[in-house]
Structure formats: C-alpha cells, structure tokens
Structure 1
Amino acid sequence: MSGLHLIFRIRSVCAALLLLATAASGHAAPGRVTARPSAQSPVWTGRTPPQNIQFQSLPLERSRQNHLLLRARINGKPALLGIDSGAPVSAIAINRVKHFGLTDVGATSELPRRLRINGGYNSVAIAQSLQLGALDLVDEPMVAIDLGGSSRAAKLMNEQAIDGIIGADILFPTEAVLDCRKQILTLKVDPDVRGRAPGTDYSGFTKVPMYLSAGYNLYVDSGVNGTRARLMVDSGAFSTLLHRRFVRQMKIAVRDTALTSAGVNIKRRGVQLATISRLSIGGVELRKREVGVIDLEGLIRSELLNAKPPVVGLLGSEILQRYNGIIDFGTKTLYLKH
C-alpha cells in the first residue's frame, strides 16, 4: 500500500532555507527555516492509503532551538525533520544525502535538477520513500542544503541535529493541521476523503484568514502600532522578526544584541530587539511584544516588502506557541487564542 506522490515544478527559490542566530560568545540562539519558489505550486497525485486510515495525528517534539520536530523515516532509516510552514519546499541536509541513500533527479524527469537559492545553486535529491507515520510519500523531491549552522547549535545545546525539513509542498496537499501549542501534526492520509480533520476544538479561538502568495507562502493581515502590514506565518522562525527598514521608518527604538544570523547563500547579519506597543494579528491584539529586528532583504521578495500593505516580517514560533496557534493548511486559516 502506498501513499501520496508529490511533484513540484520549481526552477528557482529566492529565500533563505536556514537562518540561524548565533551569539558572539559562541552560544547559539534558535534558528529558522524559510524558502520561497518563484512559480507554480506543487502538483500531487494520491494512491491507495493504508486500509481504513483517513487522517492521522502525529506527536511533535520542541527543540531548544524552538523548532517543532517530527520523527520520520527516509528510505527506511530514522530521520528527525523540522516542520516549517514558511518553507515551500522540503529539504534534506546535504551531509545526510548519502546516509539516507537519496538519488539524483533522473535525466528524463520533469523536475529541476537544481534550484537557485539567493544567487547560488542547490541540488535536488529524490527520497524513494519518505514515511510520516502511516503516510508513505514515494519519490519525494527534497532540496539539499547546508544545515551545518543548525547542527552546530544543536551540539551546543546537547540535542540531536535535524536531518531535514518538511515544507509546504507536503503540508498543503495533505491538508495538514499544525497545532503549535499541543505539538501535534494532523495529516490527511487518504486523498479521496473530503472534509476537515476530526478532533480539533476551535472554540474560543479567533479565526484569522491566511493569504497564499505566488511564492507559496502564507501571510496574515497585521498591524504594527496602528500601521497596516502583513506577516509571513513561519513556524520555522524561532521568534517573530520585523524588517529593519520598516522598524526604522516607524521610528521604533531598537536595542543591539550580540546575535547574528545567517542563511543558505546569505551572509551573516546582525539581530536587534524592539518592543512593539501594539501588534495585531487579524483580530488578536498583543501589547508590548518583544520582537527581533533584522534585514530581511533577499529573504522576503522586494515586491512584497514594498507592497501595500507591505510584508514587514515573520510571525514566528514564540507567538504561535504562546497564543495557541493552529495552522490549517487545508482552509488557509490561522487560529489564535489568548
């Protein structure tokens, strides 16, 4: 019995597949993962799922880097994968490709053999089997990236390094529901089943619509001290981050830190902190929220940074956890509760 066969047709990616904040002292702060393709969204076809299984709920772990992690299997071998709503493509650590036995994209395949990421090129590898609980994804493409920064941070924190990332190319077709507080990922196993995943109680939550961009990212309407804006919903971001230029334009005071950040094919950048008097996410009002401030040029497309309203940052995992965030990829809805 087999599960879903996902195919993405992506020629370039303009983003960082890993942004890791590191203190000057050598201690690591939490990392994040994002990616954005430039063109079409994934196309997928399903085959017969395991008998009588329509949906499944999988337990997640939270790392000291503030990542939500899933125990999976790649080509039959145990793997630890980060769950990242901000990554349109799933990824594998480049130093784990050989360990898991991933293969190159075939010469006759319609899939790209490489993706352009922030001016550099990264190879695409094929996992013959990516098993998420009862769901077995066949011939799953994964971009091979350098996760060395995340691995070094994990070593400093005495925890297991991640082997790769589960991105939107899997979360959307399976109509995933990600409960960031309860740390549960619910996936649709049978693609022919209609309706929402059972078992999630939304009573008392505020419903916030999410908007899907051409780059296959999710955004929510927000406000920063009364100014309309949008934020990317990014469960892979260790913290909520705002674009430095926007913060400067808003004349919001910042505080320097010893933290720097780096991404795939992106030079290291400094991280500051700011306290936002009023931060709104849909109809949810947050007061005096501390956020990170960083240069997001190249990590968020310039046309989105300059849009009306502009995308001004990333809605990260600390707010998603604190306010009981539930990300419903099937309905493109974010649920929050005080």
Structure 2
Amino acid sequence: MKRFFLFLLLLTLGCSSSKLLNGEHSEKEILKSVSFVLESLQNQGFSGVIGKVKKNRIFVPVKVNGVPDDFFIDTGATYTYLNNDHIAKYHLRKITATDRKRKILTWFGSITDHKKAIANIFQIGNYKFSPWPFIVGSGNVTPVLGTDFLHFTNAVLICRFSTMLFNVNHQKAVGLSDSLKKFGYKEFDLYLSKGGSLGKLAFKNSDNPIDFGTFLIKANFNGIEGMMLLDTGAHYTSIDHDLARMTGRKIRKQNKIYFVDAAGNIEYPSVIFADSLKVGDYYLSKKRFFPIFKDLDRETYTYSVPYLGAIGMDYLTRNNAIIDFGNRKLYLMR
C-alpha cells in the first residue's frame, strides 16, 4: 500500500509540475524534495491522502458514516465543522440537552456543549476515526477540516501538491528539518494562537493533553514587525485594516479580487501597495498590491506586536510551503 501511494503521488507530482512557477530552484529539485518528505513519512508510519484544488483551496476526500464528500483544509479554523444540513446527510448523532450534562467520549477524549454532533466513523484515506465530533454551524458552511484534526494527527501538509500526511499514533515527523534545509528550504517557527479558542484535547486512554489552535508566524510588512495568521482557507494573502491605516499608504478600491468565506459570502476588499512582505530574511513579495481584510479574528490574539494579516494559499503554493503541525514549523522554497 505504501509503494502504491508513493507511485500515485509521484504520478500526481509529475502531472502538476508544469504548474510550478519560476523560482530559484528547478522543478526537478522541488519534486525531489517532496518525494523525500513523502517517502520519509511513509516509513515513519504516516498515512496519506491526495486532495485537489478548487478555487485555490485544498479539498481532501473523506467519508462520514460511509457518506463520501470533500472537506477543505483550513489552518485558519480552530475546529472541524459542518452546517446543519450535514447532520441528516451524514447520519450524525445530534447532541441533545441531556447529552450536554455528561461527558461524551470521542477518539481524542471528551467533548463539551460546544460540540454539536458526532459521527460513528470519520474516514480519511484508509484510516477510520471512531467516533469523531463536529461543530455544526448555521448557514451554507462548506465542510471544513480544521486544526483540531491537524494538530491531533501531527499532520504534514504539502500545499503545492494538495497532499496531507498524518499519524494516528500521536508521533511527530522526524528528520524533516535538516533534510529540507539541504534541499534549499527555509525553516520558520510557528506560534500557537492564545485565548478563547485555544483548548486541550486528551488522547484516548492517555493523561497527556495536546494544544490546538491556529498558527501565527513572525513577519514584516513594509518595515513593520508583527504576526500573521497561516491560513490555507484564504484564497489570497491579506493585510489587516488597522495595519493598512498605520502605514500611511493610499488605500484603493478595486473589483477584481474578492474574498469568499466558508458560508459563501463574497466581499470585494480595498487594496494597498507594499514595498515588501517577508518572514525572517525570506521575501514573500516585493512591490505588490495586497487586499485589506477588515474582519480578522482578534479574540485569540494576545501578542504585543501588531497583527499584520493572513498568509493565504496564493503565497503558500507559490513558495512550495510545507507545514509541519507536530513540530510547529513552516518550510518555504522558491
């Protein structure tokens, strides 16, 4: 099975190589590094699933109580969640008022009243989690695979090739750092968000809890140091509206770039010109316009430096991003 998955992904990589953007490294070098990550994690017992890109988002195939569907991976979402219509579609057990009075065991521990429904079986790739909880929201919410799953499984996400590897034995990836640096990747630390959305989930049959929440990364926008959200659920990299005003740069209206949230709402943001956006000494862009997002969530943000915005799928794919949830690292390479 491992060899078959490796062959399937390499075939996918070969078909996708023409989409790679020109950069400092050749397509062959990038494919070689991705192949290394895949084979290394397969040898460490990681399972894998190949997704597909729709509207600049990564969708992975899943089955909920045997019903097939696609969930999009959203590193900007704290929880895996659905809408009310999915309760019937997936034959979920809705949590009643009586249920809320007692703890309900799931694969990763007990859940409280903010979880609304439970699947007997949640399958990703060849692995079945039983049971698995979902938050259920109102409106036309696209099914989302959030950071609760990604942290719990110590997932490694290869953004360019829509591939997710995960470990069901609570083991972190080993040996990626030194090897990816040799391939030419730059490594950056990721910081867990703090506040109301941060929680701890106890492993089944274990007293060791794990943190879960969204990731932030230190960045520099036009010389202003701060933090940015790492958000695969965002089509575009965007700048916070408070930061935009802080720069003193002219804010322009436009009608070409638009945001679509998980509920399907569309917004055409204003834009601002930036001389540079970088993380560490790595330039994500120079001399570009960025959309301004006015509704970035600040409830979980407690850092003293400015909240700069969110790094979306446009720059993550363009820079061949690999996100290592277990070790809280981001790898970038042009």
The structure whose RCO (Cα within 8 Å, separation 6+) is larger is: 1
Go from structure 1 to structure 2 and tell me whether the alpha carbon gap of 1:127 and 1:225 turns closer, same or farther (over 3 Å shift). Answer: same
1:168 aligned residue:
147
1:129 aligned residue:
121
1:220 aligns with 2:217: yes
The C-alpha deviation readout for 1:146-203, integer Å capped at 9, x for no partner, is: 452x6xxxxxxxxxxx5x1111111011110001012210111333x565388x9622
Go from structure 1 to structure 2 and tell me whether the alpha carbon gap of 1:145 and 1:256 turns closer, same or farther (over 3 Å shift). Answer: same
1:229 aligned residue:
226
1:315 aligns with one of 311, 315, 326:
311
- Amino-acid identity (%): 22
1:327 aligned residue:
323
* Post-superposition offset of 1:128: 1.3
Give unmatched runs, 5+ long, in structure 2: 1-42, 105-110, 199-212
Please state which structure has a larger fraction of its residues in helix: 2
Where 2:232 maps in the other structure, the secondary structure is coil
Where 1:271 maps in the other structure, the secondary structure is coil
Alignment of 1:188-337 (within 5 A): 188-191=167-170, 193=171, 195-196=173-174, 202=180, 203-214=183-194, 215=198, 216-258=213-255, 271-285=269-283, 286-296=285-295, 299-301=297-299, 304=302, 307-337=303-333
CA distance in 2 between counterparts of 1:240 and 1:146 reads 26
- Are 2:48 and 2:163, in contact at CA under 8 Å, matched by a contact in 1? yes
Where 2:270 maps in the other structure, the secondary structure is strand
2:192 maps to a residue whose letter is L
The C-alpha deviation readout for 1:240-269, integer Å capped at 9, x for no partner, is: 111112101111222212466575899986
Number of residue equivalences: 261
Which range moved further: 260-269 or 101-110? 260-269
* Post-superposition offset of 1:327: 0.6
- Are 2:270 and 2:292, in contact at CA under 8 Å, matched by a contact in 1? yes
Go from structure 1 to structure 2 and tell me whether the alpha carbon gap of 1:237 and 1:70 turns closer, same or farther (over 3 Å shift). Answer: same
- Are 2:260 and 2:267, in contact at CA under 8 Å, matched by a contact in 1? yes
2:130 aligned residue:
138
1:184 aligns with 2:163: yes
2:26 aligned residue:
none
- Are 1:296 and 1:313, in contact at CA under 8 Å, matched by a contact in 2? no
- Are 1:172 and 1:329, in contact at CA under 8 Å, matched by a contact in 2? yes
1:60 aligns with 2:51: yes
1:288 maps to a residue whose letter is K
1:239 maps to a residue whose letter is Y
- Are 1:256 and 1:273, in contact at CA under 8 Å, matched by a contact in 2? yes
TM-score (normalised: structure 2):
0.71
Go from structure 1 to structure 2 and tell me whether the alpha carbon gap of 1:183 and 1:263 turns closer, same or farther (over 3 Å shift). Answer: closer
CA distance in 2 between counterparts of 1:266 and 1:295 reads 17
CA distance in 2 between counterparts of 1:266 and 1:128 reads 28
CA distance in 1 between counterparts of 2:116 and 2:94 reads 7
- Are 2:193 and 2:301, in contact at CA under 8 Å, matched by a contact in 1? no
1:313 maps to a residue whose letter is G
Go from structure 1 to structure 2 and tell me whether the alpha carbon gap of 1:62 and 1:254 turns closer, same or farther (over 3 Å shift). Answer: same
Q: Pairwise CA RMSD of aligned residues?
A: 2.8
- Are 1:177 and 1:187, in contact at CA under 8 Å, matched by a contact in 2? yes
Go from structure 1 to structure 2 and tell me whether the alpha carbon gap of 1:132 and 1:147 turns closer, same or farther (over 3 Å shift). Answer: farther
CA distance in 1 between counterparts of 2:168 and 2:175 reads 10
- Are 1:91 and 1:144, in contact at CA under 8 Å, matched by a contact in 2? yes
1:109 aligned residue:
103
Where 1:293 maps in the other structure, the secondary structure is strand
Go from structure 1 to structure 2 and tell me whether the alpha carbon gap of 1:170 and 1:291 turns closer, same or farther (over 3 Å shift). Answer: same
